[in-house]
Amino acid sequence: MSNNGNGFEPRIVGFLCNWCTYAAADTAGVSRMKQAANVDIIRVMCSGRVDPTFILKAFVEGADGVIVSGCHPPGDCHYSTGNFKTFRRMPMVEALLEQYGIEKGRFHWGWISGAEAPMWAKLVNEFTEQVRGLGPLDWKRQLQSKEE
């Protein structure tokens, strides 16, 4: 998404697990649910596969917001406990991002099952508006800041 001239269009990266949230996003698409076109989806086999490096890299490379979503714990995970890794890791990522000065509203992690397509569409719309309200993050500009 680029700036369309009169407004800022947030660019959001979504890491979705193959078995639940990606299926929900797929269903939301084929059911023609109305959703903002701001989320670039990256399908991963499990939300537990999402290394914090991926999230940091997304922000450095220009994402204004990041979503990580997988199967509901405790029982939904295709690999039994992959989502346990997610909920042990993500609160720490949240704290890290906050310390870096990246607003809380730019990062969302949670659970959406394959049967919850409307929830995915709702999340996309609400999160896009939330990030739009926060404005561009533009992390590369931080790195190019002038020193005199």
SS3 labels along 90-129: HHHHHHHHHHCCCCHHHEEEEECCCCCHHHHHHHHHHHHH
Residue type, 17: C
Least distance CB 85 / another protein (angstroms): 7
User: Does residue 136 bind another protein (CB under 8 A)?
Assistant: no
Site string for another protein, 26-45 (x = CB under 8 A): --------------------
* 70 to 109: interface string for another protein, x by CB under 8 A: ---xx---------xx-xxx-xxx-xx--xxxx-------
Q: Is the dihedral of CA 121, 57, 96, 76 positive or negative?
A: positive
Which residues lie closer than 8 Å to 41 by C-beta, 6 or more apart?
14, 16, 22, 25
Q: Is 143 in the site for another protein (CB under 8 A)?
A: yes
From 10-18, 34-42, 47-55, 63-71, give the range in contact with another protein by CB under 8 A.
47-55
Q: Residue 6 or 144: which CB sits closer to another protein?
A: 144
Rounded Cα gap, residues 114 and 111, in angstroms: 10
For another protein, the binding residues (CB under 8 A) are 51-53, 56-57, 59-60, 73-74, 84-85, 87-89, 91-93, 95-96, 99-102, 137-139, 141-143, 145-148
